Amino acid sequence: MEHSVTTYDGRALPASVQGDGAPLVLCDDDPEVFGSLAHVLVSRLRLVLWEPGTDDVDRAAADLDAVRRHFRLTRTALLGHGRGALVALRYALDQPDRVTALVFVAGAEVAWDNGLAAECRALAVPTLVVEGAARGGRSTWVEALADALPDVTRVVLPTAGPLPWLDSPGAFGWAVLAHLGGR
């Protein structure tokens, strides 16, 4: 079902919802990239797809809160890919009481610094970090992120590239479902 979410500054963002079950908000610059992932997860989860209206991570995190409020989600799990992973992480750092679990799919590089590391060390949200090994090797900053998070599971999919749900849909889907299972 299609929706229009009004942000705090009055912009309209397209969003949609599919499935039933526990909510999972999907974050990416292009929500169409999640098409095949939605097919894997929709039978078990209520998926919320939305399109950020900005490249600014902090503003997109505020927009994510408008999405959460629009769908009347007191708390939700988040799955982010690429810059959407940075938005989901920023939201979890800013609003940990609103996030049941975080799935961080590696894809965008981050300016890793001591301030971000300190914020991550204090994050009390169970986090799954997924990385495709076929994308050119493990990312140093993803390793730093996983090391900084206190409640983290890291999954490296050996045959997956930057869109692991396309290259390894079964392994990716089960990793996500297992992570979200108890939440």
Fold for 2-180, please state it. Answer: Rossmann fold (3.40.50)
**Distance separating alpha carbons of residues 172 and 131, to the nearest angstrom:** 10
Q: How confident is the model at residue 149, as a pLDDT?
A: 96
CB 24, CB 48: distance < 8 Å: yes
Which two structure tokens, joined as six digits, stand for 91?
Answer: 């939201």
Q: Is the pLDDT score of 107 beyond 80?
A: no
Find residue 155's DSSP bridge partners.
130
Find residue 5's DSSP bridge partners.
13
Q: How confident is the model at residue 31, as a pLDDT?
A: 74
- Tell me which range, 8-17, 111-120, 139-148, is most confidently predicted by mean pLDDT: 8-17
pTM, rounded to two decimals: 0.93
How confident is the prediction for the chain on average, in pLDDT? 90
At 68-95, the pLDDT tens digits run: 999 999 999 999 998 899 999 999 999 9
At 33-64, the pLDDT tens digits run: 888 888 889 889 999 999 888 889 999 999 99
Q: How confident is the model at residue 139, as a pLDDT?
A: 74
Q: Where are the beta strands (DSSP E) in the chain?
A: 2-6, 12-18, 22-27, 45-50, 76-81, 99-105, 127-132, 152-157
